[in-house]
Every structure is written in C-alpha cells, then in structure tokens.
Amino acid sequence: MDHMSRYHQWLEDPSIDEKTKAELRLIAADEKEIKERFYKELEFGTGGLRGIIGAGSNRLNTYTVGKATQGLANYIKKEGTEKKGVAIAYDSRRMSPEFAEIAGLVLAANGIPAFVYPSLRPTPMLSFAVRYLGCTAGIVITASHNPPEYNGYKVYWADGAQVVSPRDKGIIDEVNGVTEYGQIQRMERDKAEANGLYHMIGEEVDNLYDEQVLAQRICPEITEVMGNDLSVVYTPIHGSGNLPVRRVLEKAGYNKVFVVAKQENPDPDFTTVGYPNPEDPNVFTLAKKLSEEKNGDIIVGTDPDCDRVGAMVKNEQGEYVVLTGNMVGALLTDYILCQKARKGALPDNGVVIKTIVSTELIQPICDHFGVEKMEVLTGFKFIGEKIKKFEETGAHTFIFGFEESYGYLAGTYARDKDAVVSTLLLCEMAAYYKRNGMTLFQAMQKLYEKYGYYLDGVKAITLKGLDGVERIQKIMTTLRETAPKAFAGKAVVWARDYKTQIFRNLKTEEVEKSTLPPSDVLYYTLEDGTWLCVRPSGTEPKLKFYIGVKGENLAASREKLSAVEKDIEEKIASI
C-alpha cells in the first residue's frame, strides 16, 4: 500500500477518532508531509517503537501504541503467562502518561493485569519493578535522549531486560499481525480497576529499589569523612531522575548536592537544552554556572528516562571538562575492581562486560585484576542477556557492564543501564579520589599512564526523513559490498560484517564466523591496532562511526583519531 492509500484509509477508518482525522485533513495539500507520515507503518523493532509524535502510520500516537500493546498482549496470551501481569513506567515526554494509560487499558481488556507507576520513573526502576512484582513483561514509555518531538515504547521481559531473540521476533510477528486498528481491545479505566486489572505501583517498590541501588556501593564508609566535603552539582535535564537520584544521594550521606533549578522539573519541550542528551556538553551550560558558584567537584546529568549519565570534572587548570562515556566506563571499571580486590571481595569467576564499540582500555584493566572481559553487540539488552545466563549456569559472576553511550550497571537488581546507581558510584569515586588528593581528571590521566593512551571517538551523521533512511542504506550497502582497503593511510587487516557474520582478513584471506547474533554492523581493524565500526543508530536518524586508537601519548592519539575522522568524511562524501 502506498502512502496516499494509507492516508485515505486512516481518514475513512471508523476506529480513528475525529480529532486525529482533523489533524490529517490539515496536511491534505502537502504530499511530502503525507509521505513522511504514511510511507510505512512505524516499525516495531527488536526494542519496541520510537518515532515522532503525531497522526499517521509512521508516527507515535494512541493507535500505534495500542497496536503494539495488542500485539504484545496476543504474544503473552499465547505464552500462557497473562496472570502475571505487565509493569508500566513512563518519563517526562509529551503524551507519556497518556500512552502509559492506553497500554494499561489495552492489556486490561485482554485480561492481563497492568501495574502502572503513578508518576514518571526512570527506565531502570521499570526493570526492577518487573522483577520484584513477578510480572511477565514490562513497558516503558520513553524516547530516551531523542529531541522533544519524539517518544517511544520499549518492551521488557520477566528477567527485567529488554526482549532478545527469539522472543523479540515473536512479539514483532504478533504486532504485525494486528492489521486493523479495530482489532485493538481497550477497557475503560474504572472498569479495569474494579476488575482488578489496573493497579498503581506503590511507594514500597521505590524504597526497595533504593535499597538495592545503595547496596552497590563499594566503599559506603567514604561519606563518613567526605559526605560534607564533596560538592556535587546535578541536573535531571527536565527528566525522571530528579527525585530518585537526589533521594539516593541523600540516603548515601552526600550532603552538598546542588540541583540546577531551571532543569529540575519535568518539561517535555526540554526548554533549556532542546536536545536532552548528556553526551552533548551543551546540556551542562547551566550546571557549569552553578558549579562555579558552588565550587563543585563533579557535575552529573541524567537523560529524560534516567538510564544514561554524563559527567564533567575540573582539569588541572580548574576548567570543567567532559568525561566521555568511555572514560567513565574505564574509571568505574578500575575503581570497582581495585576496591573489591582491596577488600577481598573480587569473585574468582568475575566478569566485566562491554559492547563492541566501547573502549579497548578495559582489556588491560581487567587483565591487571585477573578478571575476564566479555564483549556483546551494541545495546544494553545483550548485557542483560548475559546476566541471565550467568544466573542460570553459575559460570560467571557479573561485576560491571557498560556501553560507550553513557550507560552503566553495577549489580543485578535491574537488567538495563541505570543512571541512578551510576551517579551514586561516580560520586563515591570522586569522593575517594578527593580524599586521596586527586580529581577524576587526574585519575583518568593515571589510567593512561598505567595502561596506555587509548582514545575513542564517535562521529555521527544525522540523516532525517525518508531521504535520510535511503542515504543510510546506500552508505551501508556500499561499504558492505566493497570493504575499504585503508583508513588514514593504515591498511585494513580485518573487515568484520556482523550482518552476514563473515569476518575476513584482507591480508591473508582467512575467514572467521561471528559468535554474536546478526546485526547491521561493520567493524574494521587496522594494521596499527586502530579500530572503527559503523552502524545505523537504533534510536535516532543517524549513521554512527565509532573509532578507537592508541598512541604513544595523548597528543599522538588525538592526531590518529582526527586523521581517521577526516578520512571517514571523505569516504562518505564520495558515496
């Protein structure tokens, strides 16, 4: 069906309300806008839905949310686990409370109890609630760090992690099987509550979550001497982290926590930042100003659904500088392993897990402490999947996991990245180093001196709309069909294609098979050890290039990184 046919189908569908149809009639003369909204169905991918809010089949609205939930309900009923219910959380974005309620009422109409948080909560709290309440699945309404016009819908399973293969494909098939909006069942809320099918999650779950987060401290005693000394500036960036982050830091004994007032309250337009991504240093403009006033030791900021955290600290000149996701991952890995080893609490079968696009600095750190390092595909659900397997087999003990895009997890109470526990551990680590006369910036320099000057970068190319989708596909197809021979003058040794799962050594013609699931990812290793990876973003209209280099010093590493980035620009421009 083409976009115009789908557009007219919505206008004629008796199950579509008049308000939605009125919005669609306003674009009747704008075929480009009609095409953007209707050229396809908003795809329910392996993680769920994410899209621009609005009327249309390629938009996030009550109908696409209802369709996704009906498909999920159909899958759950086939599994025979409907009595366990589904937990639902949402963040501060536009329509988040409405989408959460619709999801709950669709589930209720299908005889599946819905357990819904009464107000916005972080994504990791949804993961915890699924496990604590013994639910069969979970839903969180969020578009994470996307721009304000977006929202999303993520599905979790009983272990508290996002669904993985083959379950994800089974749910996708059920969602795609809902071909008409009239197939969506929905119950009125008062009836759902009366029938015991719609419940509010109580405060006791928040308190139990806090206990689990606080249990992840390595050196809780640090606040006895540093609780009144460490100065922390925090911004929730208008999102769901405000209350839980502040609550946990207070319970941990940090008494000098200053919150950016203009970014404290929920704001679906993210007025002070526009793009609420802690990977973007611009979101810390107000936090830096406050930190200068309060002589802050560390600035932390969490994204709208509070699963990612960014940080800034002072350098040797007293200027606030960004700690990248890879830097924080390396610092936390080293700190956790070091302190556990010091206390004799390092498990013999301990493991640290990172994604394939995260820093290689983790390898020498793990080697130093005799801990195994594992790699998974990009996406924290693959780390959650590993944790589940460890619990089932007892083969390993999970210590810490992270991905370069500012997501970290210590402990197994949740199965997704958690910015609440990450903020707590960042503050503990900052307090530890301050007590020892160092900043986190200086601690990072010490890691470089000890293990090598690893430097990592991400180059993202934004390509919006249908044209952008086609452009991304063309670039990936070209790179896949003709592997580059070199980057920045250094020959490619290994060209790894995670979609075909074929890894080729371009020098020896040796071929290996991937041990990871198929994914639209290309990964190149160069003759000097430099690596780079390209993949379409799963959450934004972007093509992302990840780069890792190692030099004799930081200046040499920066030069290498810059040369590779420039070569990438030239190669992409020629496609």
- Where would I find the H helices in 216-348? 222-226, 242-252, 285-294, 325-342
Single pTM value for the model: 0.94
The encoded tokens of residue 350 equal 């301990």
| pLDDT at 538 exceeding the cut of 90 | no
Tell me, yes or no, whether 213 lies in a domain: no
Q: Is 314 helix (H, G, I), strand (E, B) or coil?
A: strand
In terms of Cα–Cα distance, which of 262, 259, 231, 260 is closest to 246? 259
Q: Verify that 542 and 394 share a domain, yes or no.
A: no
Tens of pLDDT, residue by residue over 361-402, are 999 999 999 999 999 999 999 999 999 999 999 999 999 999
Residues 444 and 462 in one domain: no
Cα–Cα–Cα angle for 377, 382, 384, rounded to 5 degrees: 155
504 close to 480: Cβ distance less than 8 angstroms: no
pLDDT band at 244 (very low <50, low <70, confident <90, very high): very high
374 and 441, same domain (yes or no): yes
Predicted pLDDT of residue 44: 87
For residue 318, CA distances in Å to 286, 295, 311 come to 17, 10, 15
Report yes or no on 5 lying in a domain.
no
For 16-37, what is the mean pLDDT? 96
Please report, for the domain that includes residue 476, its CATH number.
Answer: 3.30.310.50
Give me the residues paired with residue 141 across strands. Answer: 90, 153
Average pLDDT on 485-489 reads: 96
In terms of phi and psi (left: phi > 0; alpha: psi -120 to 50; beta: otherwise), the region of 468 is alpha
Does one domain contain both 426 and 459? no
CA 539-363-529 angle, to 5 degrees, is: 80
Residues 68 and 147 in one domain: yes
* 81 in a structural domain: yes
Quote the tokens at residue 573.
């421009």
pLDDT at 220: 97
Structural domain includes residue 569: yes
- What burial class does residue 363 get, using C-beta atoms within 10 Å of its C-beta: 0-12 exposed, 13-18 middle, 19+ buried? middle
CB 433 within 8 A of CB 527: no
Q: Are 53 and 151 in contact (CB under 8 A)?
A: yes
Residue found under tokens 């999102």: 239
Structural domain containing residue 488: 453-573
Nearest to 62 by CA among 136, 138, 153: 153
Residue 405 pLDDT exceeds 80: yes
- Please tell me the total count of domains within the chain: 3
Q: Is residue 189 domain-shared with residue 313, that is, in the same domain?
A: no
What pLDDT, on the 0 to 100 scale, is given for residue 1? 83
Rounded to the nearest integer, the mean pLDDT of the chain is 96
Statement to judge: residues 253 and 392 lie in one domain = yes
Residue 311: what pLDDT? 98
Task: Give residue 460's Cα distance to chain centre.
Answer: 16
- Tell me how many degrees the CA angle 465-466-471 measures, rounded to the nearest 5: 100
Torsion of CA 216, 222, 228, 229, to 10 degrees: -110
How much of the chain exceeds pLDDT 90, in percent?
Answer: 94
pLDDT in tens, 137-175: 999 999 998 999 999 999 999 999 999 989 999 999 999
Are 427 and 254 in contact, with CB atoms under 8 Å apart?
Answer: yes
Cα first-last separation, the chain: 30
Q: Which of 144, 231, 291, 557 is catalytic?
A: 144
Residue 278 lies in a domain: yes
The answer, yes or no, to whether residue 278 has pLDDT greater than 80, is yes
Same domain, 472 and 438: no
3 domain residue, yes or no: no
Angle (deg, nearest 10), helices 440-451 and 419-435: 90
Q: What is the mean pLDDT of residues 12-23?
A: 95
| Calpha distance 5→442 (Å, rounded) | 61
Mean pLDDT throughout 205-233? 98
Q: Judge if 252 and 383 occupy the same domain.
A: yes
Q: Which of 451, 471, 500 is the last residue of a domain?
A: 451
Specify whether 349 is located in the same domain as 368.
yes
User: Is cis: bond before 14, omega within 30 of 0?
Assistant: no
Q: Which of 176, 208, 240 is the last residue of a domain?
A: 208
Q: Average the pLDDT over each of 245-259, 376-390, 527-541 and give the range with the smallest value.
A: 527-541
Last residue of a domain, one of 429, 451, 473: 451
Q: Write down the pLDDT at residue 319.
A: 94
pLDDT value at residue 46: 73
Q: Is residue 27 situated within a structural domain?
A: no
Do 385 and 513 reside in the same domain of the chain? no
Overall average pLDDT of the 424-450 stretch = 97
User: Helix (H, G, I), strand (E, B), or coil: what is residue 397?
Assistant: strand
Q: Tell me what pLDDT residue 463 has.
A: 87
Q: Is 405 a catalytic residue?
A: no
Answer yes or no: are the C-beta atoms of 44 and 176 closer than 8 Å: yes
CA-based nearest residue to 254, from 298, 307, 196, 302: 298
Whether residue 46 contacts residue 156, with contact meaning beta carbons closer than 8 Å, is answered with no
Q: Examine the domain organization and report whether 143 and 165 are in the same domain.
A: yes
Evaluate whether 412 touches 387 at the Cβ level (below 8 Å).
yes
* Residue 283: CATH number of its domain: 3.40.120.10
Q: Do the domain assignments include residue 561?
A: yes
Is there a contact between 313 and 321 (Cβ–Cβ < 8 Å)?
A: yes
